[in-house]
Structure 1
Amino acid sequence: MTAGRTLFVTWYDSNHRSIVPVARLVHHGGTDGDLYEFRYIRGALEGVERGFQPFISFPDLYKVYRSPSLFPFFSNRVMPTTRPDYLAYLQVLGLDPAEADSVEILARSGGRRETDRIEVVPAPVQDESGGYTTRFLLRGIRYIPGAEERIARLASGERLFWMLDPQNESNPSAVALRSADKCLLGYIPDYLVTDIAKLIERRVSMHVFAERVNLPPAPLHHRVLCRLEARWPDGFVPFQGEQFQPVSPFPAPPTQADHAVQ
């Protein structure tokens, strides 16, 4: 994992069919070794009002948790390398087995489980050319008649076209994706819509591509890996909405009292 990379933890509010960011994980690397830092963000306070409960591994909403290794809460959401389908799984995610580490796999897959409503998402970073590039798995396929059949005919690299969906009952800020022949396929994840709104406000052109299409037996939520490309505007900072700010803005420096979750 690249030093300084930030991942956010989101919680799905099934009552409102909305995704709420609740925490963040930051990797700090340096001459003294690796340090992983977990803390809740302000979205967690909104989530508590909707039924969210702090994770058992991180019970205190106001504490900063630190560890020299990746917390089990996250590492347990990555497929073990010993699984016979491990290489096929990386292929579905579009990752190179020689380069992918646990956190990169977690960022691309989302670490989703059938037993909870948690997903891990990466904060976008500037690509090698200084642009805004982020990858995501297409959402909402199951709710759109004909989407799965049209996706089966998508070609890798095919351009997809975004459109705002202000009449969406679950999220008026939703951004839908369609094919060139105007077939609605799914949605860009909710956690990206704030960034997209800012890019639109700055009149930045955005292009979306189906980077990889995974046919059955790949599950629906892994069916299409998309890539969004745009110019990175001057002064632009991703994930800067109120929900993404730390609960405690001035964390204490690391001490022996800061326990590593094992």
Structure 2
Amino acid sequence: MSNVHTLLVVWQDKESRLYYHIGTLSYYNNQYEFIYTHAEPGQRKLGDALKCGYMIHPAFPNINKVYQSKTLFPAFDRRIPSPDRSDFKAILADLGLDEHASKMDILRETRGRSASDTYSFEQPLRVGEDGKLHSSFFVHGMRHQNLPDHWPSWLTKDSSLKLIQEPTNDHDPNAVGIYTYGGRQLGYVPNFYSKAIFSLLESGATPLVRVVYINEKSTPHWWVKVDFECGVPALQDIHSDELSPVMQ
């Protein structure tokens, strides 16, 4: 079972396609906890989301409250496959999980995506026991790259990818493109990580990005998943607000 017990609750603005970290879901001491991020503008948190039309979730109406529960909040629980489904074990196997997986594990791997809204649940960048930053995420924006039908032939499991900053990007000055070593762009680092990863690259860090999952028959949101690992030799030179998705 994974030891990841924290997930970023992320909302996407349908017009700008930008993502906002509006809250954090955690599990510890045998209970779940949900809190909103700060409501002040800046850093693409709740305050910025509200300015872009985000509506406070009706299950969590008080933005200043710490919500706690012994069971996963129903608003989130309904986003994961039910154990009563006949294909439940097959779903877990496809996600790389087994019957011992926790609800947080399942929510992490499925991202809790729903066709009816624009929420998702994402892993934070975590500082591991080796002192490096770690995470896993799906490559964003692949459907907008006009990729040829044979794009899966560019990759295999464990393929290494490279990151390239795009400071002149019209939508996000902290955008980071994801490329094959053959120079083909697949998409982007999810933009709720982009400021932190852009800053790491700016400081001279050299992340390792490795393909761990390919499923071209799925929707573009789930085409390619990568593992991210990065040493932080210049962490002291980076402002803490630039690493806001990082959690110990």
TM-score (norm 1): 0.80
SS state at 2:92 partner:
helix
Provide the aligned length of Structure 1 versus Structure 2: 238
Alignment match, 2:34: 38
| Cα pair 2:199 2:242 within 8 Å, conserved | no
Query: Partner of 1:191 in structure 2?
Result: 192
Alignment of 1:44-59 (within 5 A): 44-59=46-61
Amino acid aligned to 1:41: T
Q: Assess if the C-alpha contact under 8 Å between 2:7 and 2:124 holds in 1.
A: yes
Shift of the 187–235 alpha-carbon distance from structure 1 to 2, 3 Å rule, reads closer
Partner of 1:166: 167
Partner residue, 1:249? none
The one-letter amino acid of 1:106's match is: L
Aligned position for 1:259:
none
Alignment match, 1:224: 224
Distance 1:45 1:142, change over 3 A: same
What's the % identity of the aligned pairs? Answer: 26
CA RMSD in angstroms comes to 2.7
Query: Which moved further from structure 2: 73-82 or 54-63?
Result: 73-82
Secondary structure class of the residue paired with 1:111: coil
3-state SS of 2:226 partner: strand
The 1:120/1:44 distance shift into structure 2, 3 A limit, reads same
Long gaps (5+) in structure 1: 246-262
Q: Alpha-carbon deviation of 1:117?
A: 0.9
Whole-angstrom distance in 2 between the partners of 1:132 and 1:6: 15
Instruction: Tell me the distance in 2 between the aligned counterparts of 1:55 and 1:243.
Output: 26
The 1:152–1:171 alpha-carbon spacing in structure 2 relative to 1, beyond 3 Å, is same
- Where 1:145 maps in the other structure, the secondary structure is coil
The DSSP-based 3-state class of the residue aligned with 1:241 is: helix
The one-letter amino acid of 2:135's match is: T
Distance change (3 Å), C-alpha of 1:41 and 1:244: farther
Asked which structure has the greater RCO (Cα within 8 Å, sep 6+), the reply is: 1
When structure 1 is superposed on structure 2, of 139-148 and 47-56 the one drifting more is 139-148
* Aligned counterpart, 2:134: 133
User: 1:43-89 deviations in whole A, cap 9, x for unaligned?
Assistant: 22221121111111101122221112211112111112333443443
Cα–Cα, structure 1 residues 13 and 239, in superposed 2: closer, same or farther, change >3 Å? farther
Q: How does 1:149-164 map to 2 (within 5 A)?
A: 149-164=150-165
Sort the Cα spacing of 1:174 and 1:72 in 2 relative to 1 into closer, same or farther, 3 A: same
User: After the TM superposition, which of the residue ranges 46-55 and 76-85 deviates more from structure 2?
Assistant: 76-85
Aligned in 2, Cα 1:177/1:87: closer, same or farther, shift over 3 Å? Answer: farther
CA shift in 2, pair 1:169/1:206, >3 Å: same
